[in-house]
Amino acid sequence: MIEQFKMIELNLSRLVVALNEAVNSNERRLIVLAGERPAGPAGQIVSKYLSLTNKERIKALYVIENMEEGSAGVKRLKEFIKAVEGFKRLDLRTIEYKRTKEIMGTTWNLLVLDLFEQLKPNDIGRLIETVSGGGLILLLAPPFRKWENTLTEFQKRLVTPPYTERDVKNRFIKRFIRKLFEHQGIWIVDLEKELINGRPLKPIKGIEKRIKIPEKPKFNVKLYKMAKSQDQIEVLKLIEPLMELNKKKSVLVITANRGRGKSAIIGIGLAGIISEWRKANKRIRIIITAPEPSNVKVLFEFLMKALNELEINYTFKKSEEHVTTVKVDKITVKYMKCYEVPAKKRDLVIVDEAAGIPVPMLFRILNQAKKVIYSSTIHGYEGAGRGFSVRFLRSLREFKRIDLKTFQMTEPIRYSPVDPIEKWLYDVLLLDAEPVTLTDEEKSLDVARIALYYVPDLDEWYAKKGEHELRDFIGIYVLAHYRNRPDDLAILADAPHHTARALKLQNGKIIASLQLTYEGNLSNELIAKTIEENFDTPGQLIPNVILKHYFLAGFGKLKGVRIVRIAVHPELMDRGLGSKALSGVEMEAKLHGLDWIGASFGASRLLLNFWLKNGFIPVHISPKRNPISGEYSVIVLKPLTEEAWVVIKELNKLLRQKIVEALMDVYFYLEPQVARLLLKFGREKAKMIELNRVQEIKLKMYTTGKMIYEAAADAVRLLVKKYFLEGGPTTGKLSEKDEILLISKCLQGKGWVETAEILKISTKKVKKRLREIVGKLYKLYYREGTVKDRLMRKGEGGVEDNEVKNRDNRTL
């Protein structure tokens, strides 16, 4: 039972219990101080903590929203510092919340979070995990009567027209406060009511870390002594075989919850590989890639620490504060963006946070590398859930002649495996949510037929009553999507324009999750501002893009719903549930008088096929590739009204014109297969492309073998454009493979060899097939006749017969 008692001043006697629990164990404790002036009491608690610990220096991090002199946060900081006795023992660093990414990978004994102006779930997820065992976390908050109704800076950014700050909900903060009271290891000081809530939690003993170093390691034993857990030892043992310079393709997949030291131990293991490979005196390039350079910060840090331990000299380069290159003799370790990696053959590639990279890209990397280490976070900040390892490993095992090893790290580096604060963090942010378990009978059902479209009550979901449904709903995303960030949970909770939909079995189990946001219905003023000033209206992704790139003001007036995320239970994929869910959204949108349904996503063949199959029309492709995935972003729309149909048809026409003109330049690296799908929607019946007389002759001579492709390329390219932009007799006449050939060679201008590689046939067959395709199109578009017929066409002048004869009998 939670203890409560009155206090006149801050009575530390009960809180000393919590402080001792932390200091005398490898667990952490969290204390919440809620009141108008909590900083002073927080300083008193830290003073007591310092008196109980025997550490000479305490690494402390204090985080506030605004560091400007005179701000309320800075005043509280000064009050805190003033109240700490023995302040000189603190190595105190103060940062703003917007810089918390810099803190990832660091370790602290004391963390103070000022939550008066800001409560951003991403920040909570990043920061709490950096505190070591024996450490203390302090949350400074307004009085509870105010806190649950406080509008944070994060919430203010959720407002989009026509909504105001009054429309923002407070579901997330209410859930956050409730979870503080539900978990052990957390003490709550209500400074207004002079109450302390909490209960002693005796740390579990007998689970101290035992590390056993192998008797005859292949790596230098110094590297093994750097390990902080037995899991890290096991990973080092698995990395050892990769240092053998043989031709066998080897793959190691490492998964772990956040804070298990996977990046650190990979860096240490890489130093071991380098120490062996440098003996070969060969030029070797080791590539490290990840969604962002910051993801590999710890890996490079421990690589250099390990090289120092081995007394190996190295040089390094930095880019934007991150180490991106380390050189040892003839060996180069370099960070590259993922889509740059497959360009050349590689000796070793390390892919950190691999679940953030599309699976096709992971396999392209594998095809170009002799040895690959993939690692990814399962649970914790930016965790991908078990889904990554399950789906990816299933595909990997289909590859023959690969030496595949896998390992899951479970032991935390910084704190105890039974740390109560990690348990609270995972619960409040749903970091370990997973889908509901299905029985064999449920899996065998005709789920697409019987599934029910469900409109949840979000107030209920974020309260205790509906919590199990919220967990099941988010669990589907955790397994289906990478980088489920804690912010997503709060956006769904509080943003006035966001909502959720689901598919349920008749017994109530959630089997598909959708997050929706309402867009459009903009004022004339906002539409003009977006077009003329390139203004970004918050929360209006699709209208912003359409207005800025196509200048169709009328689209801004239309009302629509964007599908932010859609995911299906992993055991029921490819069973029609995604399409069933979209049908439900469409019916609901029509009932509410909306004009369109839309989505924006990274363009892949699989995703585009899904949306096209469900009647969505491509209207936009981004001019640049996503720096993380290497994919172009695509917007698709489905019109629900006649007015929307007219606009969307025009947008698609403009998109197709843009693509055929830009494939040789802006979209040169776009997969031809993806380009084909984007060009697939209805073609124009009106003539958009006209060839002149000379170009028609070139086509005729090329198709009959009297002119080489290079001499007729301009005419062929125009004919191919005509095929993809116009309707008429050509629609559906060519196979998918033929269309990919036309896009790759004629519209993108790729070489014969590269086109052959894309089609997986010889260059000779590519050349032969292209001539046949052009001949087929030529017959469909132009009447039969000799070159002389075309030259002597009435009203077009002519040339001497002997000149025509000479041209007809030689190959140009």
Q: Per DSSP, what are the bridge partners of residue 403?
A: 250
Q: Residues 568, 712: one domain?
A: no
Residue 112 lies in a domain: yes
Q: Residues 601, 706: one domain?
A: no
Whether 6 shows a pLDDT value over 50: the answer reads no
Which tens digits make up the pLDDT trace of 385-404? 566 666 777 788 887 788 89
Residue 802 lies in a domain: yes
Q: What average pLDDT does this structure show over 118-143?
A: 96
Domain count, the chain: 5
Nearest to 260 by CA among 134, 129, 357, 354: 129
Q: Residues 154, 245: one domain?
A: no
CATH number at residue 254: 3.40.50.300
Rounded CA gap, 478 and 666, in Å? 34
More confident residue, 457 or 691: 457
pLDDT of residue 797: 42
Residue 419 lies in a domain: no
Q: What is the 3-state secondary structure (H, E, C) of 512-570?
A: EEEEEEEEECCCHHHHHHHHHHCCCCCCCHHHHHHHHHHCCHHHHHCEEEEEEEEEECH
Residue 417 lies in a domain: no
Q: What average pLDDT does this structure show over 576-591?
A: 98
Q: Give DSSP secondary structure letters for 230-281.
A: HHHHHHHHHHGGGGS--SSEEEEEEEE-TTS-HHHHHHHHHHHHHHHHGGG-
Distance between first and last Cα of the chain? 93
Torsion angle, CA of 657/660/664/665, rounded to 10 degrees?
Answer: 20
Q: What Cα–Cα distance (Å) separates residue 218 from each residue in 238, 278, 284?
A: 11, 15, 20
Q: What average pLDDT does this structure show over 442-470?
A: 97
Tokens of 49: 């903590």
CATH number at residue 458: 3.40.630.30
Q: Which residue is associated with the tokens 């867009």? A: 519
Beta-strand pair 331-335/322-328: antiparallel
Final residue of a domain: which of 368, 387, 409? 409
pLDDT tier, 801 (very low <50, low <70, confident <90, very high otherwise): very low
Tokens of 677: 């799908």
Q: What average pLDDT does this structure show over 135-141?
A: 98
Residue 207 lies in a domain: no
Q: What average pLDDT does this structure show over 476-494?
A: 86
Q: Residues 189, 51: one domain?
A: yes
Rounded CA gap, 712 and 701, in Å? 8
Nearest to 49 by CA among 136, 138, 139, 141: 136
Final residue of a domain: which of 632, 650, 667? 667
Residue 429 lies in a domain: no
Residue 359 lies in a domain: yes
Share of the chain above pLDDT 90, in %: 74
Q: What average pLDDT does this structure show over 80-84?
A: 94
Nearest to 467 by CA among 505, 494, 493: 493
Q: What average pLDDT does this structure show over 643-672?
A: 96
Q: What Cα–Cα distance (Å) separates residue 34 from each residue in 77, 169, 197, 291, 538?
A: 15, 21, 12, 38, 32
Whether 684 shows a pLDDT value over 70: the answer reads no
Question: Domain range holding 782?
Answer: 693-808
Q: Residues 473, 569: one domain?
A: yes
pLDDT of residue 105: 79
Whether 407 shows a pLDDT value over 60: the answer reads yes
Residue 307 lies in a domain: yes
Rounded CA gap, 744 and 737, in Å? 11
Q: Residues 135, 24: one domain?
A: yes
Query: Rounded to an integer, what is the distance from CA 803 to the centroid of its chain?
Result: 63
Q: What average pLDDT does this structure show over 736-759?
A: 97
Q: Residues 355, 452: one domain?
A: no
Hey, is 416 helix, strand or coil?
coil
Q: Residues 378, 462: one domain?
A: no
Whether 230 shows a pLDDT value over 90: the answer reads yes
Considering the entire predicted model, what is its pTM?
0.88
pLDDT of residue 804: 39
Whether 795 shows a pLDDT value over 50: the answer reads no
Average pLDDT, the chain: 90
Q: Indicate the helix (H) or strand (E) that contains 625.
A: strand 617-625
Final residue of a domain: which of 153, 178, 197? 197
Rounded CA gap, 567 and 569, in Å? 7
Nearest to 306 by CA among 225, 204, 198: 225
pLDDT of residue 195: 86
Q: What angle do CA 212, 213, 218 make, to 5 degrees?
A: 155
Q: Residues 280, 350: one domain?
A: yes
CATH number at residue 175: 3.40.50.11040
Whether 586 shows a pLDDT value over 80: the answer reads yes
Which tens digits make up the pLDDT trace of 280-313? 888 999 999 998 888 899 999 999 999 999 999 9
pLDDT of residue 805: 43
pLDDT of residue 382: 63
pLDDT of residue 99: 93
Rounded CA gap, 309 and 227, in Å? 13
pLDDT of residue 557: 97
Q: Residues 185, 303: one domain?
A: no
Q: Residues 612, 491: one domain?
A: no
Peptide bond into 456 cis (omega under 30): no
CA contacts within 13 A on the Cβ side of 409: 31
Rounded CA gap, 369 and 350, in Å? 10
Q: Look at 150-154, 210-214, 372-376, 562-566 and tell me which has the smallest mean pLDDT.
A: 210-214
Rounded CA gap, 443 and 461, in Å? 25
Q: Residues 152, 27: one domain?
A: yes
